[in-house]
Chains A and B, each alone.
Chain A
Amino acid sequence: MSEPILVLDDVTRIHGSGENAVAALKGVSLTLHSGEFVAVMGPSGSGKSTLLNLAGGLDRATSGAVTVEGAALQTLSRAALAQVRRRHVGYVFQDLNLIPSLTAAENAALPLELDGRSPRAARAEAMASLEALDMHRLADRFPDDMSGGQQQRVAIARALVGGRRLLLADEPTGALDSETGDAVLRLLRQRCDEGTAVLLVTHEARHSGWADRVVFLRDGRVSDTAVYTLDPVAKP
Chain B
Amino acid sequence: MSSLGLTRTTYSVYISGMSIRHGILALLSEGPAHGYQLKADFEQRTGGTWPLNIGQVYTTLQRLERDGLVHRPHGVEHQPSDRVVYAISETGRAVCREWFSTPVRRTQAPRDELAIKLALAVGAPGVDIAALVQGQRSEAVRTLQELTRLKIAASDTQDLAWLLVLDALVFQSEAEVRWLDHCESRLVRAAAARDHAVRDHADRPKTQTTSDETQVGAR
Q: Which residues of A contact B (CB under 8 A)?
A: 43, 186, 189, 204-206, 208-211, 214, 216, 218, 223-224, 226, 228, 230, 233-234, 236
Contact = CB atoms under 8 A, between A and B. Distances in A.
Contacts of B138: 224, 226
A194 to B, nearest CB: 14
Chain B contact patch, size range: 20 to 34
Contacts of B141: 205, 208-209, 214, 226, 228
Contacts of A210: 145, 148
A209 B147 contact: yes
A209 B145 contact: yes
B145 A228 contact: yes
B155 interface: yes
A149 to B, nearest CB: 15
B114 interface: no
Contact of B171 (A189, A206, A211, A234): A206
Nearest to B144: A209
B153 A233 contact: yes
B85 to A, nearest CB: 41
B144 A224 contact: no
B82 to A, nearest CB: 46
Given A189-B152, A205-B177, A236-B155, A230 B140 contact: no
B174 interface: yes
B178 interface: yes
Given A205-B177, A216-B137, A228-B145, A186 B152 contact: yes
Give the residue among A216, A226, A236 with the most B Cβ atoms within 10 A: A226
Give the residue among B140, B145, B174 with the most A Cβ atoms within 10 A: B145
B170 A209 contact: yes
Given A205-B140, A209-B144, A226-B137, 17 more contacts: A205-B173, A205-B174, A206-B148, A206-B170, A208-B141, A209-B145, A209-B148, A209-B173, A210-B145, A214-B141, A218-B188, A224-B134, A224-B138, A230-B3, A230-B145, A230-B146, A230-B149
A8 B184 CA distance: 26
B195 interface: no
Interface string B173-193: 110011001001100100000
Contacts of A236: 153, 155
A236 B151 CA distance: 12
B83 interface: no
A228 B170 CA distance: 17
A185 to B, nearest CB: 8
Contacts of B3: 230
8 contacts: A205-B181, A206-B171, A206-B174, A209-B144, A218-B188, A226-B142, A228-B142, A236-B153
A204 B153 contact: no
Contacts of B170: 206, 209
Nearest to B177: A205
The 3 tightest CB contacts between A and B, nearest first, are A209-B148, A209-B144, A205-B177
B153 A211 contact: no
A205 B178 contact: yes
A216 B140 CA distance: 13
B148 A43 contact: no
Contacts of B140: 205
Nearest to A190: B152
Nearest to B140: A205
Contact of B144 (A205, A216, A234): A205
A234 B141 CA distance: 21
Contacts of A211: 145
A234 B145 contact: no
